[in-house]
Amino acid sequence: MNKAILVTASILGIIGIILGAFGAHGLKELISIEAQQTFETGVRYQMYHAILLLFVGSTVLIRQKNKKRIYYLTLIGVLLFSGSIYGLATNALTAFDFKIIGFITPIGGLLLIMSWVILFVNFLKIKH
Provide the whole-model pTM. 0.91
Binned at pLDDT 50, 70 and 90, residue 33 comes out as: very high
pLDDT of 127: 87
Percent of all residues in the chain with a pLDDT value above 70, rounded to a whole number: 100
Instruction: List the Cα angle 73/78/82 in 5-degree steps.
Output: 155
